[in-house]
Amino acid sequence: MAKPKVTPHQLTLQQAVIGDIYGHLEQELFEMFVDRLKSKGVNDLDETHVLQWQLEKLNELHLVNIDTIKAVAKTTGIAKKQLEDLITKAGYDVASDEYKRIGDAIGYEKSPNNVVEQALDGYLKQTFLSLDNNVNQTLITTNLGQGTATKTFQNIVRDIASEVITGIKTPERALQDTIYKWRQSGIPSGFVDKGGHKWSIDTYVRTVIDTTSARAFQAVRDEAANDYGIDTFVMSAHPASRAACAPIQGRTVTTRPQSFDDSQTGEHFEALAAHGYGKPGGTFGINCHHIKWAYIPGVNENTQPQYDPQEAIAKGNIQQQQRALERRVRQYKNELALAQKMGDQKGIDHYSQLIRDNQSALRQLIKQHDFLSRDYSREQVYSSNVTQQKPVKREPNKTEFKSAVKDSDITNAFEKTNIKEAFGDEYYSQFKSSISNLKDEQLRKLYANYGQDLDFANVSKTGGSYASTSTVHLNNSAFEGSDISEPMETVYHEIGHAIDSASMNDVFGKQLIPTGRQIKRRLAGKMYKFDEQASHLSADPAIDLGKTIKQDLFDYINHGEAKSPMQIGKKPRKKAEKAIWMEEDSKSWEGVEKIRQFIRDTKPTALENLRKYSNVSDMIEGTSYDVFDYPWNAGHGSKYWKDYGKEETEFFAEYTSSRAANPASLALIKEIFPNATKICDSLIDKMVEAKK
């Protein structure tokens, strides 16, 4: 059977992108609210002037409406292309796949008919209409103050004024808390459910996109079946399922009014009509992700996994817990962005902690239930480099960063590779924005010089992140960050490894250089000796970066009061020298014990801020001073460091990635390993110079 043109997973990702685009619209409006509310000195308000401030802000409603119109127009333009690609283009691929599959089974093939195109066009128009009526037209209105965006702005202004007048909070705190409160509620869409609840824009759009596109895809599959005269189907099966679907998922079903048994095969076909078919809470209803494919008795075989209905329902409830945690992570990320915009350190700390807590809860939930898997795309928030705010005019600043390396020099270097295809639009946009905004001159030169020499594997959802020579392999979390790394930090880490390898040819004219030592390897039962080779510039034996790393850590803890094991060397043979050596050796091991005590004492602090301490934890593990793996719950494991050059290459990658994306980690690395960082600086200079 031919490989399908489009997979369910690809469709899910496309659906999520459109939901994220509208989620960003909501976030963008709140950021615009903050800018308007903070203008003209909200911090100077008191009970006397707050009413005047309130009046001034309410007089700006027409400006809020204008900004909203611009934001909606921009979002609609971006989303329209995505919707067309999702429903009409991907939908036609779904139809083609189903026609091909049925044709292969029956023995003659048809092509998608006109009804398919008409159906997809109808679903596209229906989606546009739903979004226009319940999002676009409700956000903006010709009746000033009646759009949901201006109404939300009015409510925020009134709440701030009320809290300042009553003296409950300072103006700054009132602004911050009120923004957070309304961000949690979201800007309402025009949709109200049967219970009278108004849905936020984010919730409404995601539901419309997921449900309408799923119905469109199923409609064209059904049309393929209808074109071949088939009304029997097999339904997909999921370990976790809603109650309406659990009894029949994975089974053979029919769209006939009544269930029946096939006269030739004896197979039972359950009537979908008996299970709320198409109703909001029924099978194939709102947010249902099941699929049904045409099934020909006696020709096809049901290979769908079979799950106990009660277990599937129970797992479905657990999966809803995961979805709730994912929504919270997205919500807290948006609130963190607002806290950063308002300069609210209390809010930054609070929402950063909430993100970590909920991500930790997610990991625990997934660890406890093997049918769950981490889907980082559900925890993402859509970001865009396009802003509707007018550029702020700034006075010339002598300390403002100016680079001799143009942004285009860097991006053009990488665009000579396969990076766009490997990263995809969203991740490449994130990478391009990040690397263009670097304020590190030498790194900018390094990336501009070596970007074109690298190769990129396709970003994977679950695979690891690593570099094999000059090829960079990344997973989703490399871009999004984790408990131990900042967003983009792992991307720069693996690029650092790749450049460390690629630069060998420029500096030495060859990929490998001898270390001057021999290593033993057992092959086919025999022991052989090989000349040891260094494959990365940081592992050049002439600079001995590994020794410097160990010495830096020892000196940082012991302040020159003892010699390190490397400094005292081997035990001498002469008696007089031996006595001195033994005394120094004793002090040296006392120094090593101090390092171990430092690791134990610092661990509670490190665990509270692993993004700052994880790189140093890895390097401490590499020195072998500690007897335990993962000193501060981060590292590679002791076996990893046995191969030559590992400590050096990891330090170089961690140092460069910290320079690029993790200033807290960089400060700690420089504090503990001052001489090793100087060596890395000289290596970067050497790499850059080698390209001239």
Per-residue model confidence as pLDDT tens digits over 74-99: 888 888 888 888 888 888 999 999 99
Banded model confidence at residue 285, pLDDT cuts 50, 70, 90: confident
Residue 579 pLDDT exceeds 90:
no
Mean pLDDT of 548-564: 88
Q: Could you tell me if residue 6 is left (phi over 0), alpha (psi between -120 and 50 degrees) or otherwise beta?
A: beta
Q: Work out the pLDDT band at 226, boundaries 50, 70, 90.
A: very high
Read off the pTM: 0.54
Q: Where on the phi/psi map is residue 587: left (φ > 0), alpha (ψ -120 to 50), or beta?
A: alpha
Instruction: Identify the DSSP state of 463.
Output: S
What does the pLDDT read at residue 253? 95
**pLDDT tens profile 356-401:** 899 889 889 988 998 888 776 677 775 443 333 333 333 444 445 5
What integer pLDDT is reported at residue 391 of this predicted model? 34
> Tens digits of per-residue pLDDT, 657-685?
999 999 999 999 999 999 999 999 999 99
Residue 53: pLDDT band by 50, 70, 90 thresholds? confident
Q: What is the DSSP letter of 641?
A: G
| pLDDT for 265 beyond 50 | yes
pLDDT of residue 321: 93
Q: CB atoms < 10 A from the CB of 398, how many?
A: 4
Q: According to the model, what pLDDT value does residue 296 have?
A: 94
The per-residue pLDDT for 454 is: 93
Please write down the HEC assignment for all residues of 296-319.
CCCCCCCCCCCCCHHHHHHHHHHH
Res. 229: pLDDT tops 50: yes
How far is Cα 446 from Cα 410, in angstroms, rounded to an integer? Answer: 9
CA distance 48 to 317: 53
Q: Which of 39, 51, 120, 114 is nearest to 86 (CA)?
A: 120
Mean pLDDT of 583-610: 87
CA distances from 384 to 14, 17, 73, 410, 609 (A): 17, 12, 15, 20, 28
pLDDT value at residue 382: 57
Structure confidence by residue, pLDDT tens digits, 171-225: 888 889 999 999 998 888 888 888 888 888 888 888 888 888 889 999 999 999 9
The per-residue pLDDT for 341 is: 87
Q: What percent of the chain has pLDDT over 70?
A: 93
pLDDT at 1: 46
Burial of 36 (0-12, 13-18, 19+ CB in 10 A): middle
Q: What is the mean pLDDT of the chain?
A: 86
CA distance 633 to 605: 12
Which has more confidence, 45 or 618?
618
Q: Please, which pLDDT band fits residue 560 given cuts at 50, 70 and 90?
A: confident
Q: What are phi and psi of 338, to 5 degrees?
A: -70, -40
> What's the pLDDT band for 143 if we cut at 50, 70, 90?
low
Alpha helices in 437-470 (DSSP H): 441-450
19-23, 68-72, 294-298, 540-544: range with lowest mean pLDDT? 19-23
Strands 466-468 and 471-473: antiparallel
pLDDT in tens, 489-523: 999 999 999 999 999 999 999 999 988 887 776 66
Higher pLDDT, 608 or 320: 320
Express each pLDDT in 405-448 by its tens digit.
899 999 999 999 999 999 998 899 999 999 998 989 999 999 99
DSSP for 556-613 reads HHHTTSS--HHHH-SPPSSHHHHHHHHHHHHHHHHHHHHHHHHHHHHHHHHHH-HHHH
Between residues 19 and 488, which one has the greater pLDDT?
Answer: 488
Q: Would you give the distance in Å from CA 627 to the centre of its chain?
A: 34
pLDDT tens-place string over residues 314-354: 999 999 999 999 989 989 999 998 998 888 899 999 998 99
With 70 as the cut, is the pLDDT of residue 141 above it? no
Q: Flag the least confident range among 189-198, 262-271, 282-291.
A: 189-198
CA dihedral sign, ordered 432, 433, 435, 441? positive
SS3 label, residue 292: strand
Please give the residue that has the higher pLDDT: either 580 or 650. Answer: 650
Beta strands in 236-323 (DSSP E): 252-254, 260-261, 268-271, 292-294
